[in-house]
Amino acid sequence: MRKPLITALVALVAFLAPLAPSASAGGVDAGRGNVQVFEPAAYDPSEPTPLVMLLHGYGSNGVQQESYMRFLNWIDTFGFLFVRPGGTMDGAGNRFWNGTNACCDFNNTNIDDSGYLRALIDAVKAQYNVDERRVWIVGHSNGGFMSYRMACDHPDTVAAIASLAGASWNNPAQCAPDSPVHVLQIHGTADNTIQYGGGNIFGNAYPSAQGSAEQWAAFDGCQIVADTSPTPINLDTSISGDETMIARYASDCRVGGSAELWTIQGGGHVPALGSDFARLVLEYFYAHPAPLGERHCATSPNSAGAGALLWGAGSETVADDDVTLVAEGLPAQVTGLFYLGQNVIQVPFGDGLRCIGGATARLNPPVASNAMGVSERAVSPLSAPAAPFASPGSSTSFQLWYRDTAAGGSGFNLSDAVRITWR
Structural contact between residues 60 and 16, judged by C-beta atoms closer than 8 angstroms = yes
pLDDT in tens, 171-204: 999 999 989 999 999 999 999 999 999 999 999 9
In this prediction, residue 1 has a pLDDT band, given cuts at 50, 70 and 90, of very low
Distance CA 88, CA 66 (A): 18
Q: Do domains 2-286 and 294-421 have the same CATH topology?
A: no
Mean pLDDT, the chain, as a whole number?
Answer: 91
Q: What residues contact residue 60 under an 8 Å CB cut-off, 6+ apart?
A: 10, 12, 13, 16, 95, 140
- What is the per-residue pLDDT for 14? 45
Percent of all residues in the chain with a pLDDT value above 70, rounded to a whole number: 91
Tell me the pLDDT tens digit for each residue of 106-140: 999 999 999 999 999 999 999 999 999 999 999 99
Q: Which residues pair with 368 in a beta bridge?
A: 335
- CATH class of the domain at 2-286: alpha beta
This prediction has a pTM of 0.90
- The region of weakest confidence among 3-7, 57-61, 269-273, 365-369 is 3-7
What pLDDT score does 7 carry?
53
Please indicate whether residue 361 or residue 80 has the higher confidence score (pLDDT).
80
Q: Are 155 and 175 in contact (CB under 8 A)?
A: no
CATH topology of domain 294-421: Immunoglobulin-like (2.60.40)
Where are the domains positioned within the chain? 2-286, 294-421
